Amino acid sequence: GENVEQHPSTLSVQEGDSAVIKCTYSDSASNYFPWYKQELGKGPQLIIDIRSNVGEKKDQRIAVTLNKTAKHFSLHITETQPEDSAVYFCAATGFMNTGFQKLVFGTGTRLLVSP
C-alpha cells in the first residue's frame, strides 16, 4: 500500500526566512496531494493541494511542487511569520483492497517561527 514519508520532523526558522518541508510517496497511481496545517488542540486545515497533472501551485506565500518521476512533493513557505508556527502534514492518495481511494498522511513537521 501507499507509504508517505515526511521530513524534517521539526523545523525552526527566523521570521522572514523561508521554510521547506518535503514528502515522498510510494504509489505511482497517487493523484492528489494535499497539505494540512494543524494548530495545537485543533483539527487539520487544508492550506494547499496539488493534483498529479500539475507540477507547481502557488497561493500567496505558500507553494507546492510535485515531481511525479521522483515521487516527491514539497511545501514552500516564504516570508514566514510567527502565526505560521504549527504542525504541517502532507498526504497522498492510496488505494485500499476494496478500490476505495484514501488519504495516507505523513508523520508531520513541527514548524517554529521565531520573531
Partner 1 sequence: DGGITQSPKYLFRKEGQNVTLSCEQNLNHDAMYWYRQDPGQGLRLIYYSQIVNDFQKGDIAEGYSVSREKKESFPLTVTSAQKNPTAFYLCASSISTGPYEQYFGPGTRLTVT
Interface with partner 1, residue 76, by CB under 8 A: no
Residues 6+ apart with CB under 8 A from 41: none
**Residue count, binding to partner 1 (CB under 8 A):** 29
Grid cell locating 21: 518541508
CB 71, min distance to partner 1, A: 16
Coil/strand/helix, residue 6: strand
Binding of partner 1 by 23 (CB under 8 A): no
The residue whose grid cell reads 522572514 is 16
Q: In the set 17, 32, 58, 67, which binds partner 1 (CB under 8 A)?
A: 32
The only residue of 12, 18, 28, 45 in contact with partner 1, by rule CB under 8 A = 45
Q: Is 7 in the site for partner 1 (CB under 8 A)?
A: no
Residues lying near partner 1 in the complex (CB under 8 A): 4, 6, 9, 31-32, 34, 36, 41-46, 49, 51, 89, 91, 93, 96, 98, 100-108
